[in-house]
Structures are given as structure tokens and as C-alpha cells.
Structure 1
């Protein structure tokens, strides 16, 4: 009797083990869904690699470059004979005033003396006058120079040349009579080259007339050489006399 009861108990245990094993084999995998009522956060966006970020910042090939808004600096005026300038020395009204560059390109200052300024820019002229005043007279003077008017250099050809007119000269430029006539196209057929006159202003401001025989210049007679012209000379070529 005990033996049967034991055998029956074993069968029940074996059956229970088989059922438990089958249930375990049929159990669905655990779900990742959050439980009801839980706060769900969005998934973080994937980070861009450094290479991708650099590519994104690179402008497209069709993108036009930015316009260059820079402008070339304006060249500063170079002083020349005849220019009129205003010189202001800080807290020194008696030393300030208006000056005109002489034919030699100089100004004469009551304290600093004769100062050559032709060929210098305004900034350079300020520096030169400052240096002169600082040497023996003033302590750290402040000099401001402004251009009032300028008298450009030129030569004028009148009469029997093919292109009469006014020809400007750059500062420091030198030109001779024959070069000027050649630049004006040469003499006309009616010109009288041996009666050319150069009219200029002398050192005292008086008008001076210089007669020239161009044929002598061309042939080198009597040791004559081509004549250098001065700024604002007037060359007059008369008509031949019949």
C-alpha cells in the first residue's frame, strides 16, 4: 500500500516538472516597453563626427565670394613751388601763419628759418618743421599743416607748333625747349624756328624774354646747347616772314 502511494507521488512530481518546463519554454521574452504611466524621454540625436561638422561649414562651390570693399588709399599731396600752406603751432599763435613756397621750394619761418619743403608730403613737412622747432626753440611742439592752394607747374606752347596748348609738368620733371617742341608735334610749315622766344618770370617777378635760334641749337653753333625750360615758361613760335 505504501509502495503504490509512493509511486503515485513520483508520477505527480514528474508531471509537475514537465508542465513547469513547458511553461518556461513558452514564456515570451521580456518587453522593453515602459510600464503604464512612466515618463518616456526622447532618444538623444546621434552626434555628428568632427569631419561631418567641417564639411557642413565649408561653403558651396557655387557660392560667390564676399565683395572686397577696401579702397586704395588716396596719395598725399606733394608740395611744390607756389603752393600755399597754413601752418598752425599749438599754443603758439605768433609762430603760426600762412606761407607760400618760393620758386626754390622753401618757406621762411620767423623762428625756424628757411625750410625746404618742396618734394615733401604734408606729413613729411609737419615732421620737418617739428624737428626744426624742437632742436633749439620749443619743447615737443605740435605742428599741423594744411594745404590752402596749389600752383601746378606747366609750360605753354603758342604759335606755329602742330599741337599748341598747355602741358603740365610733374614736380621735379625737367624738359628742354626741343623736347617741348617735339612733344607738341613739331613746327608747322609756316613756323619761323629762328625767331622763337621763351617768356618767363625772373627772380624779381619781372617778365624776361629769351630769343632762341633753333637752327643754332640743332647745329650746335657757337657752343649753344638745348635750353632747359623752367616751370610756367611760355614758348612762342612766330610765323615766318615772307
Structure 2
């Protein structure tokens, strides 16, 4: 009888120890879920085509210059800046296009065309920006300077249901800014610049699954109650 009693006591002790270990594991899992819900997701930064010498107000290789001259279709069109920073324009030939502010570049091109035509010359830069993360169609988009960060998100099809609209990352010239896509957000309506990257993170796992924490807490409470009854 003594041997049987000792075996049963040892079995109950082992069971209690196993339940305590299980409780500890559940608690650790809850802590992990909570930390995951508040940890910000890191943006995937794609290296820009711009070199360190390019300023944020200048164009970059891959951008486009749209030239419109009335009744001059041969001189009009869209012309891409090559990898060396040069754009080749009709009549003007190769033009350096990346090492000065956009306004100065436009003025220089218009002045050069004035030697050949008398009609007004319209020069519009078309920029390339990347929109990544929790948007419906991530990718590279061509935009005009008057377009805003919110416009770029719209071009990518808008955000997904799991997106965190309050912490959109704007990556510009190696710096990262958090932008909120809310009606009163000033940065959301700021103009785009060449080489901008927008990264829309997803909301934390718990915020996307609000019932999970409540269920886990309920299960833990039930387990604690069961252990205490032993």
C-alpha cells in the first residue's frame, strides 16, 4: 500500500509540474503576442537610383521630361533621363538634367528652345516613385510633381484592409518619416519628389485579430483555475 501511495503521489506531482510548465508557456505566448502587436514593422528600403550627389529637388535617372510645343510634334514628346543623368532632346541634343533644381532646369530648356521656335514651350517633369507594402498594387509609378503622397497611394490601388494608415513610411534621401493618411494630415498632402519611396505597414497581429487575445486570456484563466483545484 505504501508503494502504491508513493507512486500515486509522484504521479500527481509530475502532473502538477507539467501543468505549471504549460501555464508558463501560455504566459510567454501571450507576452509574445502582445509585443508583436506593438512592434512596428520595418520598411523594405529599395536602393534609389540617385547617387549621393543628387539633391532632393533635382531629377534622377529614370525620370522623364515631357516637352510640349504648339504645332511642333517633332519637338514634342516624353524623354527619359538615362543612367548618366543626361536627357537627349530634339534640336538641343544631350542635356544634363540631374544636377540642378527642377525649376532651373525647366528655365534652361525653355530658353534653349527659344532659339528655334517662337511658340510657348511647356516642360513638365514626370517622376518615378515606389509604393510598397500593404497596398493593392505595389510597384513603381510615374507621377507629376503636383501629385501628393496620398495621390501615390491611390495610384497603387489604395491601402489594404490590414494596412496601418497612421504610420505610412516616407523614405526620402535616406531619411524615414512617418506619415498619417488622415484627412487633416499635412504631410499626406505634400508634393512628391523624385526617388520617393512609400511603405505602408500592416497593423499588428492582435489589432487584426482582436478576438485572439480575449480567447487566450480566457483559456489561461481556465487553466489557472484547473491547476488550483488540483
Return the structure number with greater helix share. 2
TM-score, normalised relative to structure 1: 0.39
Instruction: Find the structure with the greater CA-based Rg.
Output: 1
Higher relative contact order structure (alpha carbons within 8 Å, sequence separation ≥ 6): 2
